[in-house]
Amino acid sequence: MHDAPAGAQGRRARLAVVDLGGPASPLFHLLQARDPRAGEQVYLVDAVSGDDVVEEGP
């Protein structure tokens, strides 16, 4: 796996490939990826009414 440049951590997807090769190993590869946009707000909904909220406010 390659490291991201300074300041770019968390903004790129990462992928790790684990080779399970060998005579007694399972016949598959394990792929693990991380969504670079995980944790971003996708939408905002009022908890009481269920309506979409355009802006946060008091």
- Decide: helix, strand or coil at residue 33: strand
pLDDT for 31: 60
pLDDT at 1: 46
Contact by Cβ (8 Å): 11, 40:
no
How many angstroms from the chain centroid is the CA of residue 23?
33
Given this model, what pLDDT does residue 24 score? 80
pLDDT value at residue 21: 72
Q: Tell me the per-residue pLDDT of 1-50, one tens digit each, with 9 for 90 and over.
A: 455 555 555 555 566 666 777 778 766 655 666 777 778 888 888 888 98
**pTM value > 0.85:** no
